[in-house]
Amino acid sequence: QKEVEQNSGPLSVPEGAIASLNCTYSDRGSQSFFWYRQYSGKSPELIMSIYSNGDKEDGRFTAQLNKASQYVSLLIRDSQPSDSATYLCAVTAGNTGKLIFGQGTTLQVKP
């Protein structure tokens, strides 16, 4: 059973702090890794994609990938109350293109 594991949280951080979200996956054949943000009652919105080991930065967001450890993380710098949402980690099942989602981590940013 291919799995993606996330801590469901909630993760609570003060405004302006760095939020660190973590994800592990079991399928060594996974090629692509994504972070989606989902506000309550809304659909998932892609915020980061990463395909190779290392860091990828986009504005306040940094994704980190370590394929040897089967570990993906998302850092949110200068967290804002508007970042409060559930963050879904998703990885491709081998090279099929199908996504396996984690349960999501709920982030609360307190003013």
Partner 1 sequence: DAMVIQNPRYQVTQFGKPVTLSCSQTLNHNVMYWYQQKSSQAPKLLFHYYDKDFNNEADTPDNFQSRRPNTSFCFLDIRSPGLGDAAMYLCATSDRDRGYEPQHFGDGTRLSIL
Residues near partner 1 (CB under 8 A): 4, 32, 34, 36, 41-46, 49, 88, 92, 95, 97-99, 101-104
For partner 1, the closer CB: 32 or 108: 32
- Minimum Å gap between C-beta 88 and partner 1 is 7
E strands present in the chain: 4-5, 11-14, 19-25, 33-38, 45-50, 54-58, 61-66, 71-76, 85-92, 99-101, 105-110
**57 three-state secondary structure:** strand
Nearer to partner 1, 23 or 76 (CB): 23
At its nearest, how many Å lie between partner 1 and the CB of residue 107?
14
What gap in Å lies between CA 82 and CA 66, rounded to an integer? Answer: 28
Residue 65 or 88 with smaller CB distance to partner 1: 88
Amino acid making up residue 64: Q
CB of 52: closest distance to partner 1 in angstroms? 13
Q: Is the Cβ of residue 45 or residue 78 nearer to partner 1 in the bound state?
A: 45
Rounded Cα distance between 75 and 97, Å, is: 25
In terms of DSSP bridges, do strands 71-76 and 99-101 run parallel, antiparallel, or are they unpaired? Answer: unpaired
Q: How far is the CB of 109 from partner 1 (least distance, A)?
A: 19
